[in-house]
Structure 1
Amino acid sequence: MKIAAIQMRSGMDPDANLAALEPMIAEAAAAGASYVLTPEVTMIFAENREGLAKVAAPFEGHPQLARVGALAQQYGIHIHIGSLAVPLEDGRFANRSVLFGPDGAIVATYDKIHLFDADIAGLNAYKESATYRGGEAAVTAPLGDFTLGFSICYDMRFPRLYNGLANAGATLIAVPAAFTVPTGQAHWEVLSRARAIETGSYVIAAAQGGQHENGRATYGHSIVIDPWGRIVAQLAHDEPGVLLADIMPDLVTEVRGRIPALANARDFTLPDALQD
Protein backbone atom coordinates (compact mmCIF):
# COMPACT_ATOMS: atom_id res chain seq x y z
CA MET A 1 0.00 0.00 0.00
CA LYS A 2 1.30 3.45 -0.90
CA ILE A 3 0.60 6.25 1.55
CA ALA A 4 1.36 9.97 1.53
CA ALA A 5 1.98 12.61 4.20
CA ILE A 6 1.37 16.19 3.11
CA GLN A 7 3.45 18.93 4.75
CA MET A 8 1.87 22.37 4.84
CA ARG A 9 2.34 25.94 6.01
CA SER A 10 -1.25 26.76 6.87
CA GLY A 11 -2.39 30.31 7.53
CA MET A 12 -5.59 32.01 8.66
CA ASP A 13 -7.60 31.78 5.43
CA PRO A 14 -9.36 28.40 5.01
CA ASP A 15 -9.86 28.87 1.27
CA ALA A 16 -6.18 29.71 0.74
CA ASN A 17 -5.16 26.66 2.77
CA LEU A 18 -7.48 24.46 0.71
CA ALA A 19 -6.08 25.94 -2.50
CA ALA A 20 -2.55 25.04 -1.35
CA LEU A 21 -3.67 21.54 -0.35
CA GLU A 22 -5.50 20.52 -3.54
CA PRO A 23 -2.50 20.23 -5.90
CA MET A 24 -0.59 18.23 -3.29
CA ILE A 25 -3.48 15.79 -2.97
CA ALA A 26 -3.50 15.51 -6.76
CA GLU A 27 0.26 14.85 -6.74
CA ALA A 28 -0.10 12.12 -4.13
CA ALA A 29 -2.97 10.48 -5.99
CA ALA A 30 -1.05 10.59 -9.30
CA ALA A 31 1.87 8.85 -7.57
CA GLY A 32 -0.41 6.01 -6.53
CA ALA A 33 -1.16 6.86 -2.91
CA SER A 34 -4.40 5.32 -1.68
CA TYR A 35 -4.24 7.09 1.72
CA VAL A 36 -3.25 10.73 2.17
CA LEU A 37 -2.72 12.42 5.55
CA THR A 38 -2.57 16.18 6.10
CA PRO A 39 -1.18 17.98 9.21
CA GLU A 40 -2.83 19.26 12.35
CA VAL A 41 -4.77 22.54 11.90
CA THR A 42 -4.87 22.04 8.13
CA MET A 43 -7.68 24.48 7.41
CA ILE A 44 -6.93 27.28 9.92
CA PHE A 45 -3.79 27.88 11.96
CA ALA A 46 -4.89 30.59 14.39
CA GLU A 47 -3.04 31.52 17.56
CA ASN A 48 -6.03 31.68 19.91
CA ARG A 49 -9.74 31.22 20.46
CA GLU A 50 -10.63 34.69 19.22
CA GLY A 51 -8.80 34.15 15.94
CA LEU A 52 -10.53 30.84 15.35
CA ALA A 53 -13.95 32.25 16.17
CA LYS A 54 -13.66 34.70 13.28
CA VAL A 55 -13.23 32.06 10.59
CA ALA A 56 -14.01 28.51 11.83
CA ALA A 57 -17.07 27.04 10.12
CA PRO A 58 -19.54 24.61 11.73
CA PHE A 59 -18.86 20.93 11.14
CA GLU A 60 -22.19 20.31 9.42
CA GLY A 61 -21.97 21.68 5.90
CA HIS A 62 -18.34 22.70 6.34
CA PRO A 63 -17.35 24.12 2.91
CA GLN A 64 -13.71 23.03 2.84
CA LEU A 65 -14.54 19.54 4.14
CA ALA A 66 -17.20 19.19 1.46
CA ARG A 67 -14.54 19.90 -1.16
CA VAL A 68 -12.14 17.37 0.39
CA GLY A 69 -14.88 14.75 0.27
CA ALA A 70 -15.36 15.51 -3.41
CA LEU A 71 -11.61 15.11 -3.99
CA ALA A 72 -11.58 11.75 -2.19
CA GLN A 73 -14.37 10.57 -4.49
CA GLN A 74 -12.71 12.05 -7.58
CA TYR A 75 -9.42 10.24 -6.96
CA GLY A 76 -10.94 7.16 -5.34
CA ILE A 77 -8.68 7.38 -2.27
CA HIS A 78 -8.82 7.89 1.48
CA ILE A 79 -8.06 11.49 2.48
CA HIS A 80 -7.40 12.13 6.15
CA ILE A 81 -7.61 15.77 7.23
CA GLY A 82 -5.21 15.69 10.17
CA SER A 83 -7.27 18.21 12.08
CA LEU A 84 -9.36 21.33 11.90
CA ALA A 85 -11.07 23.47 14.52
CA VAL A 86 -14.77 22.72 15.00
CA PRO A 87 -16.89 25.21 17.04
CA LEU A 88 -18.56 23.75 20.13
CA GLU A 89 -21.49 24.95 22.20
CA ASP A 90 -19.33 26.19 25.09
CA GLY A 91 -17.43 28.64 22.87
CA ARG A 92 -14.37 26.43 22.59
CA PHE A 93 -13.42 24.14 19.71
CA ALA A 94 -12.78 20.48 19.03
CA ASN A 95 -9.43 19.76 17.37
CA ARG A 96 -10.98 17.20 15.03
CA SER A 97 -9.44 14.71 12.63
CA VAL A 98 -11.62 13.60 9.70
CA LEU A 99 -11.13 10.55 7.46
CA PHE A 100 -12.89 10.42 4.08
CA GLY A 101 -13.33 7.19 2.17
CA PRO A 102 -12.94 6.66 -1.59
CA ASP A 103 -16.67 7.30 -2.02
CA GLY A 104 -16.28 10.78 -0.55
CA ALA A 105 -18.17 9.99 2.66
CA ILE A 106 -16.77 10.52 6.15
CA VAL A 107 -15.52 7.20 7.54
CA ALA A 108 -14.49 8.34 11.03
CA THR A 109 -13.67 11.39 13.14
CA TYR A 110 -11.45 11.80 16.18
CA ASP A 111 -11.21 14.70 18.64
CA LYS A 112 -7.72 15.26 20.10
CA ILE A 113 -7.65 13.88 23.64
CA HIS A 114 -4.51 15.38 25.19
CA LEU A 115 -4.25 19.17 25.50
CA PHE A 116 -1.05 21.07 26.26
CA ASP A 117 -1.52 23.13 29.43
CA ALA A 118 1.81 24.30 30.87
CA ASP A 119 3.12 27.08 33.07
CA ILE A 120 6.89 27.07 32.52
CA ALA A 121 9.15 29.23 34.66
CA GLY A 122 10.42 32.21 32.69
CA LEU A 123 7.90 31.72 29.88
CA ASN A 124 4.27 32.69 29.36
CA ALA A 125 1.72 30.07 30.38
CA TYR A 126 0.19 28.14 27.48
CA LYS A 127 -3.28 26.72 28.06
CA GLU A 128 -4.61 24.80 25.08
CA SER A 129 -7.74 23.90 27.06
CA ALA A 130 -8.76 27.58 27.00
CA THR A 131 -9.30 27.22 23.25
CA TYR A 132 -10.03 23.53 22.77
CA ARG A 133 -12.08 20.88 24.57
CA GLY A 134 -10.36 17.51 24.72
CA GLY A 135 -11.93 14.42 23.26
CA GLU A 136 -12.67 11.31 25.32
CA ALA A 137 -12.61 8.39 22.87
CA ALA A 138 -9.81 6.63 21.01
CA VAL A 139 -10.68 5.82 17.40
CA THR A 140 -9.67 3.23 14.80
CA ALA A 141 -10.95 2.70 11.27
CA PRO A 142 -10.43 0.06 8.55
CA LEU A 143 -8.00 1.08 5.81
CA GLY A 144 -7.50 -1.64 3.20
CA ASP A 145 -5.25 -4.33 4.68
CA PHE A 146 -4.49 -2.03 7.64
CA THR A 147 -6.39 -0.68 10.60
CA LEU A 148 -5.78 3.02 11.12
CA GLY A 149 -5.32 4.47 14.60
CA PHE A 150 -5.97 8.16 15.17
CA SER A 151 -3.92 10.64 17.19
CA ILE A 152 -2.98 14.31 16.94
CA CYS A 153 0.32 16.04 17.83
CA TYR A 154 0.61 16.24 21.67
CA ASP A 155 -1.06 12.80 21.88
CA MET A 156 2.33 11.46 20.73
CA ARG A 157 3.70 11.98 24.24
CA PHE A 158 1.23 9.53 25.79
CA PRO A 159 2.21 5.92 25.08
CA ARG A 160 -0.90 4.57 26.78
CA LEU A 161 -3.07 5.89 23.93
CA TYR A 162 -0.88 4.21 21.31
CA ASN A 163 -0.81 0.96 23.25
CA GLY A 164 -4.59 1.08 23.42
CA LEU A 165 -4.87 1.71 19.69
CA ALA A 166 -2.55 -1.19 18.89
CA ASN A 167 -4.47 -3.52 21.21
CA ALA A 168 -7.65 -2.41 19.44
CA GLY A 169 -6.12 -3.60 16.15
CA ALA A 170 -4.33 -0.53 14.79
CA THR A 171 -1.42 -1.39 12.49
CA LEU A 172 -0.89 2.12 11.05
CA ILE A 173 -1.08 5.11 13.38
CA ALA A 174 -1.52 8.66 12.09
CA VAL A 175 0.15 11.62 13.83
CA PRO A 176 -0.84 14.90 12.18
CA ALA A 177 1.10 17.60 14.00
CA ALA A 178 2.26 21.19 14.35
CA PHE A 179 5.39 20.75 16.50
CA THR A 180 7.29 23.87 17.46
CA VAL A 181 10.88 24.11 16.24
CA PRO A 182 12.61 23.51 19.63
CA THR A 183 10.47 20.50 20.54
CA GLY A 184 10.64 19.22 16.99
CA GLN A 185 14.42 19.31 16.93
CA ALA A 186 14.61 17.52 20.26
CA HIS A 187 11.73 15.05 20.19
CA TRP A 188 9.95 14.68 16.83
CA GLU A 189 11.92 11.79 15.37
CA VAL A 190 12.57 9.96 18.62
CA LEU A 191 8.91 10.05 19.66
CA SER A 192 7.76 8.91 16.21
CA ARG A 193 10.17 5.99 16.34
CA ALA A 194 9.34 5.13 19.93
CA ARG A 195 5.60 4.92 19.28
CA ALA A 196 6.23 2.67 16.26
CA ILE A 197 8.61 0.39 18.19
CA GLU A 198 6.37 0.13 21.26
CA THR A 199 3.32 -0.87 19.26
CA GLY A 200 4.91 -2.76 16.37
CA SER A 201 2.99 -0.45 14.04
CA TYR A 202 3.69 1.87 11.16
CA VAL A 203 3.57 5.55 12.12
CA ILE A 204 2.83 8.28 9.58
CA ALA A 205 3.40 11.80 10.88
CA ALA A 206 2.36 14.73 8.67
CA ALA A 207 3.62 18.09 9.91
CA GLN A 208 3.16 21.81 9.59
CA GLY A 209 6.43 23.54 8.71
CA GLY A 210 7.98 27.00 8.56
CA GLN A 211 6.98 30.51 9.64
CA HIS A 212 3.21 30.95 9.80
CA GLU A 213 0.92 33.92 9.42
CA ASN A 214 0.03 33.78 13.15
CA GLY A 215 3.69 34.26 14.12
CA ARG A 216 4.33 30.64 15.06
CA ALA A 217 7.19 28.61 13.57
CA THR A 218 6.79 24.84 13.14
CA TYR A 219 9.35 22.12 12.56
CA GLY A 220 8.16 20.21 9.49
CA HIS A 221 10.16 17.01 8.80
CA SER A 222 7.13 14.82 8.05
CA ILE A 223 8.08 11.19 8.54
CA VAL A 224 7.01 7.56 8.08
CA ILE A 225 8.38 4.91 10.47
CA ASP A 226 8.08 1.14 10.09
CA PRO A 227 7.19 -1.28 12.94
CA TRP A 228 10.90 -1.99 13.59
CA GLY A 229 11.51 1.71 14.18
CA ARG A 230 13.26 2.40 10.88
CA ILE A 231 12.68 5.60 8.93
CA VAL A 232 10.93 4.63 5.70
CA ALA A 233 10.72 8.18 4.32
CA GLN A 234 11.23 11.72 5.61
CA LEU A 235 11.14 15.31 4.38
CA ALA A 236 14.39 16.79 5.72
CA HIS A 237 13.05 20.37 5.73
CA ASP A 238 10.11 22.58 6.74
CA GLU A 239 8.84 23.46 3.26
CA PRO A 240 5.43 22.32 1.95
CA GLY A 241 5.64 19.02 0.10
CA VAL A 242 4.42 15.47 -0.41
CA LEU A 243 6.08 12.48 1.27
CA LEU A 244 5.40 9.06 -0.26
CA ALA A 245 6.05 5.64 1.28
CA ASP A 246 5.19 2.00 0.62
CA ILE A 247 4.03 0.00 3.63
CA MET A 248 3.46 -3.75 4.04
CA PRO A 249 0.98 -5.38 6.45
CA ASP A 250 3.13 -8.54 6.64
CA LEU A 251 5.90 -6.53 8.30
CA VAL A 252 3.60 -5.66 11.20
CA THR A 253 2.86 -9.37 11.72
CA GLU A 254 6.56 -10.24 11.50
CA VAL A 255 7.72 -7.60 13.96
CA ARG A 256 4.99 -8.32 16.49
CA GLY A 257 5.92 -11.99 16.28
CA ARG A 258 9.61 -11.26 16.89
CA ILE A 259 8.92 -8.91 19.82
CA PRO A 260 5.46 -9.77 21.24
CA ALA A 261 5.35 -6.82 23.65
CA LEU A 262 1.61 -6.33 23.20
CA ALA A 263 0.90 -9.98 23.98
CA ASN A 264 3.37 -10.10 26.88
CA ALA A 265 2.06 -7.01 28.69
CA ARG A 266 0.77 -7.60 32.22
CA ASP A 267 -1.27 -5.62 34.70
CA PHE A 268 0.50 -4.55 37.87
CA THR A 269 -0.08 -2.72 41.11
CA LEU A 270 1.62 0.49 42.22
CA PRO A 271 3.03 1.42 45.62
CA ASP A 272 0.54 3.38 47.72
CA ALA A 273 2.66 6.53 47.45
CA LEU A 274 2.26 6.49 43.66
CA GLN A 275 -1.48 5.88 43.80
CA ASP A 276 -2.23 8.92 45.96
Structure 2
Amino acid sequence: MKVAAVQMVSTPDLGRNLEAAARLVGEAAAAGAGLVALPEYFCLIGLRDTDKLPFAEPEGDGAIQRFLADTARRHGVWLVGGTLPLRAPDGQRVYNRCCVYGPDGVEAAHYDKIHLFAFDNGRERYAEATTLAPGDTPVALQCGPLRVGLSVCYDLRFPELYRALMAPPCDLLCVPAAFTYTTGRAHWELLLRARAVENQCYVLAPAQGGQHESGRRTWGHSLVADPWGEVLAVRPEGEGVVLAEVSAQRLAEVRTQLPALAHRRL
Protein backbone atom coordinates (compact mmCIF):
# COMPACT_ATOMS: atom_id res chain seq x y z
CA MET A 1 0.00 0.00 0.00
CA LYS A 2 1.21 3.50 -0.80
CA VAL A 3 1.09 5.84 2.21
CA ALA A 4 1.35 9.62 2.46
CA ALA A 5 2.43 12.07 5.15
CA VAL A 6 0.92 15.54 4.74
CA GLN A 7 3.06 18.46 5.89
CA MET A 8 1.34 21.73 6.77
CA VAL A 9 2.07 25.16 8.23
CA SER A 10 -1.23 25.63 10.03
CA THR A 11 -2.65 29.04 10.92
CA PRO A 12 -5.08 30.46 13.53
CA ASP A 13 -7.87 30.25 10.90
CA LEU A 14 -9.77 26.94 11.01
CA GLY A 15 -11.32 27.43 7.57
CA ARG A 16 -8.00 28.08 5.86
CA ASN A 17 -6.48 25.03 7.50
CA LEU A 18 -9.32 22.74 6.46
CA GLU A 19 -9.05 24.02 2.89
CA ALA A 20 -5.32 23.31 2.85
CA ALA A 21 -5.79 19.86 4.36
CA ALA A 22 -8.50 18.99 1.83
CA ARG A 23 -6.28 20.03 -1.06
CA LEU A 24 -3.26 18.08 0.22
CA VAL A 25 -5.22 14.91 1.01
CA GLY A 26 -6.65 15.12 -2.50
CA GLU A 27 -3.14 15.43 -3.91
CA ALA A 28 -2.02 12.37 -1.96
CA ALA A 29 -5.03 10.32 -3.06
CA ALA A 30 -4.52 11.33 -6.69
CA ALA A 31 -0.93 10.05 -6.40
CA GLY A 32 -2.24 6.64 -5.35
CA ALA A 33 -2.03 6.75 -1.55
CA GLY A 34 -4.39 4.35 0.22
CA LEU A 35 -3.57 5.76 3.65
CA VAL A 36 -3.00 9.47 4.29
CA ALA A 37 -1.93 11.06 7.58
CA LEU A 38 -2.29 14.71 8.60
CA PRO A 39 0.00 16.43 11.14
CA GLU A 40 -0.69 17.27 14.77
CA TYR A 41 -2.86 20.39 15.10
CA PHE A 42 -3.56 20.35 11.36
CA CYS A 43 -6.81 22.18 12.11
CA LEU A 44 -5.41 25.07 14.17
CA ILE A 45 -2.20 26.56 15.51
CA GLY A 46 -3.34 29.68 17.32
CA LEU A 47 -1.55 32.80 18.46
CA ARG A 48 -1.76 31.41 22.02
CA ASP A 49 -1.91 27.84 23.24
CA THR A 50 -5.35 28.45 24.77
CA ASP A 51 -6.80 29.41 21.37
CA LYS A 52 -7.63 25.76 20.73
CA LEU A 53 -10.05 25.56 23.67
CA PRO A 54 -13.04 27.31 21.99
CA PHE A 55 -12.72 24.86 19.07
CA ALA A 56 -12.96 21.76 21.29
CA GLU A 57 -15.54 19.31 19.99
CA PRO A 58 -17.69 16.68 21.72
CA GLU A 59 -16.93 13.07 20.91
CA GLY A 60 -18.37 12.01 17.57
CA ASP A 61 -19.58 15.44 16.43
CA GLY A 62 -18.25 18.77 15.25
CA ALA A 63 -16.98 20.53 12.13
CA ILE A 64 -13.48 19.05 12.28
CA GLN A 65 -14.65 15.46 12.76
CA ARG A 66 -17.22 15.86 9.97
CA PHE A 67 -14.50 17.25 7.71
CA LEU A 68 -12.26 14.24 8.34
CA ALA A 69 -15.08 11.76 7.76
CA ASP A 70 -16.20 13.48 4.57
CA THR A 71 -12.64 13.75 3.24
CA ALA A 72 -11.88 10.08 3.85
CA ARG A 73 -15.13 9.08 2.13
CA ARG A 74 -14.65 11.45 -0.81
CA HIS A 75 -11.22 10.07 -1.65
CA GLY A 76 -11.78 6.49 -0.53
CA VAL A 77 -8.71 6.47 1.74
CA TRP A 78 -7.80 5.59 5.29
CA LEU A 79 -7.32 9.00 6.89
CA VAL A 80 -5.28 9.51 10.06
CA GLY A 81 -6.63 12.88 11.12
CA GLY A 82 -3.57 14.40 12.77
CA THR A 83 -5.02 15.74 16.00
CA LEU A 84 -7.97 17.86 17.02
CA PRO A 85 -9.09 19.27 20.39
CA LEU A 86 -11.74 17.09 22.02
CA ARG A 87 -13.49 18.11 25.24
CA ALA A 88 -12.11 16.46 28.37
CA PRO A 89 -14.33 15.55 31.35
CA ASP A 90 -12.89 18.28 33.60
CA GLY A 91 -14.34 20.95 31.31
CA GLN A 92 -11.14 23.00 31.54
CA ARG A 93 -8.79 21.11 29.24
CA VAL A 94 -9.00 19.07 26.03
CA TYR A 95 -7.70 15.77 24.76
CA ASN A 96 -5.27 16.01 21.86
CA ARG A 97 -7.08 13.34 19.86
CA CYS A 98 -6.02 11.46 16.74
CA CYS A 99 -9.06 10.08 14.88
CA VAL A 100 -8.78 7.53 12.10
CA TYR A 101 -11.49 7.23 9.44
CA GLY A 102 -11.97 4.42 6.96
CA PRO A 103 -12.69 4.80 3.24
CA ASP A 104 -16.40 4.66 4.12
CA GLY A 105 -16.05 7.79 6.27
CA VAL A 106 -16.72 5.94 9.52
CA GLU A 107 -14.39 6.47 12.49
CA ALA A 108 -12.40 3.26 12.93
CA ALA A 109 -10.45 4.23 16.06
CA HIS A 110 -9.13 7.18 18.04
CA TYR A 111 -6.15 7.79 20.29
CA ASP A 112 -5.67 10.49 22.94
CA LYS A 113 -2.06 11.64 23.28
CA ILE A 114 -0.61 10.09 26.44
CA HIS A 115 2.67 11.99 26.98
CA LEU A 116 2.41 15.76 27.38
CA PHE A 117 5.33 17.90 26.26
CA ALA A 118 7.13 20.39 28.50
CA PHE A 119 10.28 22.32 27.63
CA ASP A 120 12.28 25.12 29.24
CA ASN A 121 15.76 26.10 28.10
CA GLY A 122 15.66 29.55 29.70
CA ARG A 123 14.51 31.19 26.46
CA GLU A 124 11.65 28.98 25.32
CA ARG A 125 9.01 27.64 27.71
CA TYR A 126 6.10 25.40 26.90
CA ALA A 127 3.87 23.06 28.95
CA GLU A 128 1.03 21.18 27.28
CA ALA A 129 -0.52 20.09 30.58
CA THR A 130 -1.94 23.59 31.08
CA THR A 131 -4.43 23.00 28.26
CA LEU A 132 -4.31 19.24 27.58
CA ALA A 133 -5.54 16.24 29.54
CA PRO A 134 -3.51 13.05 28.96
CA GLY A 135 -4.89 9.88 27.46
CA ASP A 136 -4.04 6.50 28.99
CA THR A 137 -4.55 3.78 26.36
CA PRO A 138 -2.30 2.64 23.47
CA VAL A 139 -4.26 2.12 20.25
CA ALA A 140 -3.56 0.09 17.12
CA LEU A 141 -5.98 -0.85 14.35
CA GLN A 142 -6.24 -2.62 11.02
CA CYS A 143 -6.27 -0.24 8.03
CA GLY A 144 -6.86 -2.50 5.06
CA PRO A 145 -3.75 -4.71 4.77
CA LEU A 146 -1.79 -2.72 7.38
CA ARG A 147 -1.83 -2.94 11.15
CA VAL A 148 -1.21 0.67 12.24
CA GLY A 149 -0.08 1.89 15.67
CA LEU A 150 -1.03 5.41 16.71
CA SER A 151 1.06 7.97 18.58
CA VAL A 152 1.46 11.75 18.66
CA CYS A 153 4.56 13.97 18.69
CA TYR A 154 6.13 13.83 22.19
CA ASP A 155 5.11 10.16 22.47
CA LEU A 156 8.06 9.54 20.15
CA ARG A 157 10.45 9.85 23.13
CA PHE A 158 8.84 6.94 24.99
CA PRO A 159 9.80 3.61 23.38
CA GLU A 160 7.70 1.65 25.86
CA LEU A 161 4.55 2.96 24.14
CA TYR A 162 5.68 1.50 20.83
CA ARG A 163 6.55 -1.82 22.46
CA ALA A 164 2.99 -1.93 23.78
CA LEU A 165 1.76 -1.39 20.22
CA MET A 166 3.78 -4.36 18.93
CA ALA A 167 1.62 -7.14 20.39
CA PRO A 168 0.83 -8.25 17.75
CA PRO A 169 3.43 -6.40 15.63
CA CYS A 170 2.39 -3.36 13.64
CA ASP A 171 3.32 -2.89 10.00
CA LEU A 172 3.29 0.89 10.34
CA LEU A 173 3.66 3.34 13.22
CA CYS A 174 2.11 6.76 12.66
CA VAL A 175 3.51 9.85 14.43
CA PRO A 176 1.65 13.09 13.58
CA ALA A 177 3.67 15.90 15.13
CA ALA A 178 4.37 19.59 15.56
CA PHE A 179 7.97 19.34 16.80
CA THR A 180 9.59 22.64 17.71
CA TYR A 181 12.47 23.74 15.52
CA THR A 182 14.91 23.40 18.43
CA THR A 183 14.00 19.87 19.48
CA GLY A 184 13.30 18.72 15.94
CA ARG A 185 16.70 19.69 14.64
CA ALA A 186 18.33 17.70 17.44
CA HIS A 187 16.17 14.61 17.74
CA TRP A 188 13.32 14.20 15.19
CA GLU A 189 14.91 11.97 12.55
CA LEU A 190 17.08 10.18 15.11
CA LEU A 191 14.05 9.10 17.15
CA LEU A 192 11.87 8.19 14.17
CA ARG A 193 14.56 5.95 12.69
CA ALA A 194 15.17 4.37 16.10
CA ARG A 195 11.47 3.51 16.48
CA ALA A 196 11.52 1.97 12.99
CA VAL A 197 14.65 -0.10 13.67
CA GLU A 198 13.74 -1.38 17.13
CA ASN A 199 10.19 -2.32 16.09
CA GLN A 200 11.13 -3.50 12.59
CA CYS A 201 8.28 -1.66 10.94
CA TYR A 202 7.59 1.37 8.80
CA VAL A 203 7.18 4.78 10.40
CA LEU A 204 4.97 7.49 8.87
CA ALA A 205 5.58 10.94 10.34
CA PRO A 206 3.45 13.88 9.10
CA ALA A 207 4.58 17.15 10.66
CA GLN A 208 4.02 20.86 10.90
CA GLY A 209 6.90 22.50 9.07
CA GLY A 210 7.58 26.21 8.86
CA GLN A 211 7.07 29.67 10.33
CA HIS A 212 3.58 30.07 11.80
CA GLU A 213 1.61 33.27 12.19
CA SER A 214 1.97 32.90 15.96
CA GLY A 215 5.74 33.34 15.56
CA ARG A 216 6.35 29.70 16.37
CA ARG A 217 8.62 27.75 14.03
CA THR A 218 8.14 24.02 13.61
CA TRP A 219 10.78 21.63 12.33
CA GLY A 220 8.92 19.85 9.55
CA HIS A 221 10.91 17.07 7.85
CA SER A 222 7.83 14.89 7.41
CA LEU A 223 9.13 11.48 6.40
CA VAL A 224 8.61 7.79 5.84
CA ALA A 225 11.20 5.35 7.23
CA ASP A 226 11.40 1.63 6.45
CA PRO A 227 11.99 -1.26 8.91
CA TRP A 228 15.77 -0.99 8.47
CA GLY A 229 15.67 2.70 9.43
CA GLU A 230 16.19 3.97 5.88
CA VAL A 231 14.46 7.26 5.12
CA LEU A 232 12.44 6.62 1.96
CA ALA A 233 11.11 10.15 1.48
CA VAL A 234 11.26 13.46 3.34
CA ARG A 235 10.07 17.07 2.95
CA PRO A 236 12.23 19.53 4.91
CA GLU A 237 9.87 22.51 5.17
CA GLY A 238 6.67 24.01 3.80
CA GLU A 239 3.40 22.36 2.95
CA GLY A 240 3.36 19.31 0.71
CA VAL A 241 2.99 15.54 0.53
CA VAL A 242 5.54 12.79 1.20
CA LEU A 243 4.80 9.43 -0.45
CA ALA A 244 6.27 5.93 -0.09
CA GLU A 245 5.29 2.30 -0.55
CA VAL A 246 4.83 -0.01 2.45
CA SER A 247 6.04 -3.43 1.32
CA ALA A 248 4.99 -6.65 3.06
CA GLN A 249 7.98 -8.32 1.40
CA ARG A 250 10.39 -5.81 2.95
CA LEU A 251 8.82 -6.27 6.39
CA ALA A 252 9.18 -10.04 6.16
CA GLU A 253 12.73 -9.78 4.83
CA VAL A 254 13.95 -7.62 7.73
CA ARG A 255 12.16 -9.67 10.39
CA THR A 256 13.47 -12.94 8.94
CA GLN A 257 17.11 -11.86 8.52
CA LEU A 258 17.28 -10.31 11.99
CA PRO A 259 14.42 -11.74 14.10
CA ALA A 260 14.85 -9.28 16.98
CA LEU A 261 11.14 -9.18 17.79
CA ALA A 262 11.20 -12.93 18.40
CA HIS A 263 14.28 -12.57 20.63
CA ARG A 264 12.62 -10.25 23.17
CA ARG A 265 12.82 -11.41 26.79
CA LEU A 266 11.42 -8.46 28.73
TM-score category of the 2 structures, normalised to the smaller one? over 0.9
Q: Which amino acid aligns with 1:117?
A: A
**Pair 1:245 & 2:244 matched:** yes
Instruction: Using the TM superposition, name which of 255-264 and 191-200 deviates more.
Output: 255-264
Q: By how many angstroms is 1:47 displaced? A: 5.6
Aligned length: 265
Q: Which amino acid aligns with 1:161?
A: L
Q: By how many angstroms is 1:55 displaced? A: 3.0
Instruction: Name the TM-score, length of structure 2 as normaliser.
Output: 0.95
Q: Aligned equivalents of 1:97 and 1:265: distance in 2? A: 29
Q: Which amino acid aligns with 2:87?
A: P
Q: Aligned equivalents of 1:148 and 1:57: distance in 2? A: 25
User: 3-state DSSP class of the match of 2:109?
Assistant: strand
* Cα distance change of structure 1 residues 47 and 133 upon mapping to structure 2, 3 Å threshold: farther
> What does the per-residue CA deviation read over 1:146-171, in whole Å, with 9 as the maximum and x for residues that have no partner?
10000000001111111221233311
User: 3-state DSSP class of the match of 2:3?
Assistant: strand
Contact kept, 8 Å, 1:15 with 1:64, in 2: the verdict is no
Instruction: Name the TM-score, length of structure 1 as normaliser.
Output: 0.91
**Pair 1:158 & 2:148 matched:** no
User: 3-state DSSP class of the match of 2:262?
Assistant: helix
Q: By how many angstroms is 1:125 displaced? A: 4.4
Within 5 Å, which residues of 2 pair with 1:54-133?
A: 54-90=54-90, 91-120=92-121, 122-123=122-123, 125-133=125-133
Q: Aligned equivalents of 2:53 and 2:210: distance in 1? A: 24
Q: By how many angstroms is 1:195 displaced? A: 0.4
Structure 2 partner of 1:147: 147
* Cα distance change of structure 1 residues 125 and 49 upon mapping to structure 2, 3 Å threshold: closer
Q: CA RMSD in A?
A: 1.5
Q: Which amino acid aligns with 1:56?
A: A
Contact kept, 8 Å, 1:140 with 1:168, in 2: the verdict is no
Contact kept, 8 Å, 1:44 with 1:56, in 2: the verdict is no
Structure 2 partner of 1:229: 229
Contact kept, 8 Å, 1:41 with 1:178, in 2: the verdict is yes
Q: Aligned equivalents of 1:89 and 1:215: distance in 2? A: 31
Q: Which runs of 5+ in 1 are unaligned?
A: 268-276
User: 3-state DSSP class of the match of 2:166?
Assistant: helix
Q: By how many angstroms is 1:244 displaced? A: 1.0
Within 5 Å, which residues of 2 pair with 1:37-56?
A: 37-46=37-46, 48=48, 50-56=50-56
Contact kept, 8 Å, 2:3 with 2:244, in 1: the verdict is yes
Q: Aligned equivalents of 1:124 and 1:176: distance in 2? A: 22
Contact kept, 8 Å, 1:148 with 1:173, in 2: the verdict is yes
Q: Which runs of 5+ in 2 are unaligned?
A: none
> What does the per-residue CA deviation read over 1:202-259, in whole Å, with 9 as the maximum and x for residues that have no partner?
0000000111122211011110000011111111x21100111111022112212222
Structure 2 partner of 1:273: none
Contact kept, 8 Å, 1:166 with 1:201, in 2: the verdict is no
Contact kept, 8 Å, 2:206 with 2:222, in 1: the verdict is yes
